[in-house]
A and B are shown apart, each in its own frame.
Chain A
């Protein structure tokens, strides 16, 4: 429909500008790639490092960038691309209608997913993974999306939750259902602990400190060998039981008690519903809190701290509760992770995890519950699909992120849904409407 609004006559006149921008982009690409691609180090015969120039590859890259930039400017001009404008409006309308049914549809699908995938262990495991990230995304969404506190160390709380449950279970023999809330509480406690020193920080400063916090937790886990098992981690963490009934093939096991034939899938299905319930709990709590003063205060804080203070909002408490509640859900997810894996080590809690969860929140649209769920599904799903192309995974991943941010700069679902909405004036108390008309 709308191929390109600019008339063809405009194309030649853009020629010099296109050349200029292409040359500039090629120069930048050349500079960027000159060390990354242009030079390759290898061990020489004596064991010393030898640098090989790879000028042909470098030239190819610069050439591709040149051509791409040239074509883009020639065809679209140098204004920022607004991809969504090029979609026919019909597509947009269908999209808007779809998104209204997306949440119930996704929920319905999630509820029956174990039946659909019953015979496919791989898909079941993948769904559990996706749901774990949905939950982590929703948890971080409280901190980043609602309260606007850029947290790059969220994985620390995931780690605290996982290690809390693992250590409590190993040392005190606590069951999952007791370890879970304790892990959440401990993570929340660490959330407050992180919150205090960063109360006065915002934006990039806050990001750096939280990043460091995440790394500190990981380094402590690695180095405190006697307590955490160091790099070897903790193995044989107790698996969850069906409210006391273990998933084993003997008397008193789950299958036996319910007169079913034993199958290892039972436990996986159970785990699926556990993480689904945990994720839905996170979602439900967030939606409830958004309607309460504290949730509204988070959203206000994200927009303007000075205005918050002058309206009598205690910004200290508001921030600390955001950190604590966000961390608590991270802790729940961590405990679940520990019991699902049966084994944890610091390797599972690297910065890349924080970045991934943050990417889910940002892509989802900072604050949108549905957006976060969809983003988690897309990101984790795509990550898995690309497993075979491990080499290109990050490349495709990065490219997709750039595309999405160009297409939807505010994330997949970027508009905030008001938590209170008056459709008709008659819903106002009559005292409010009677006067006030000019």
Chain B
């Protein structure tokens, strides 16, 4: 192994004149689950989107498998087997579950399709039951499953997830997170997880980063971060489940 699968170096990005990322350094090693936590508006989604070039990085580099992908066009990124589940799921609501999954296979090998869809259905049997249902009529949890399933159809090596727990009931959050762990442990999928739900995210991840105002303030093994007072007081009060 030569180095981290994803390495972000001193990344800066802004919307107009407003700086959103102020020199961010992050590393994700192959086989890891790495989580990025932070308050609303910290710049987590911006970081995730800038990997896909929207907004474009103004300074710094993004290295994937040792190659500089900072200036690669968005639609080429998926071909490098980086898949993204953007914030808010963004499934195609007028298309059926099956059609959504087909869209996920856009950059995939057509001959892999039956096998890949079987894998998604095994992970989320609920999707198979709804195969002909329109995406927009699915429940929030099912939509999240579909968004993840759609991303998996491209056979990614690196999966980027932006707040998969957003707006979901605790039971569903557990189910989704269990699926992420399964993907990581069984399929050796590398996962970069952006979350506000710090408690669950740090429980799941191997390592974590804390972002405040567009900069990383803390990082380390997830278990250690869970014990840090700064993390506890700032992010865990609301994130810890009731039971």
Q: Which residues of A contact B (CB under 8 A)?
A: 293, 296-297, 299-300, 303-304, 306-307, 309-315, 416, 418-422, 429, 431-432, 435-438
The answer on a CB contact under 8 Å between B132 and A315 is no
Per the bound structure, the CA–CA distance linking A301 and B122 in Å amounts to 29
Q: Is the CB of B99 within 8 A of A311?
A: no
- Contact indicator B83/A418 (Cβ below 8 Å): no
Selected contact of A431 from candidates B49, B78, B91, B115, CB within 8 Å: B115
Provide the main secondary structure of the chain B interface: helix
Of the listed stretches B19-27, B29-37, B58-66, B102-110, chain A binds: B102-110
Residues B103 and A296 in contact, CB atoms below 8 Å apart: yes
Q: A299-B94, A312-B107, A314-B75 are in contact. Are A306 and B102 (CB under 8 A)?
A: no
Name the A residues within 8 Å of B76 (CB-CB).
312
Query: Which of B91, B107, B125 sits near A436, CB closer than 8 Å?
Result: B125
Highest count of chain B CB atoms <10 Å: which of A296, A416, A432, A438: A432
**Chain A residues touching B, majority SS:** loop
- Knowing A307-B92, A311-B78, A312-B154, the reply to whether A418 touches B132 (Cβ < 8 A) is yes
CB distance from B37 to the nearest CB of A (A): 22
Which of B90, B96, B118, B128 sits near A418, CB closer than 8 Å? Answer: B96
16 A-B pairs besides A299-B92, A310-B83, A435-B122 with CB distance below 8 A are A296-B102, A299-B94, A304-B91, A309-B52, A309-B54, A309-B74, A310-B84, A312-B107, A312-B154, A314-B73, A418-B99, A418-B132, A420-B96, A432-B118, A435-B118, A435-B121
B77 to A312, Cβ gap below 8 A? yes
Q: Which residue of A lies closest to B90 (CB)?
A: A307
The contact string, 1 if C-beta is below 8 Å from chain A, for chain B 75-101, is 111110001101000111111101100
Enumerate B91-145 residues with CB–CB distance to A below 8 Å: 91-96, 98-99, 102-104, 106-107, 114-115, 117-118, 121-122, 125, 128, 131-132
Expressed in whole angstroms, the Cα–Cα distance for A420 and B132 within the complex equals: 9
Q: Which residue of B lies closest to A366 (CB)?
A: B94
Taking a contact as CB atoms under 8 Å apart, the answer to whether B118 and A431 are in contact is yes
If the complex has contacts A303-B95, A431-B115, A431-B118, are A312 and B90 also in contact, measured as CB distance less than 8 A?
Answer: no
A300 with B95, Cβ < 8 A, contacts A312-B106, A436-B121 known: yes
CA distance A403 to B73 in the complex (A): 46
B150 at the interface (CB under 8 A from A): yes
Contacts of A419 in B (CB 8 A): 99
A419 to B86, CA, bound (A): 25
Bound state CA distance, A435 and B96, in angstroms?
A: 21
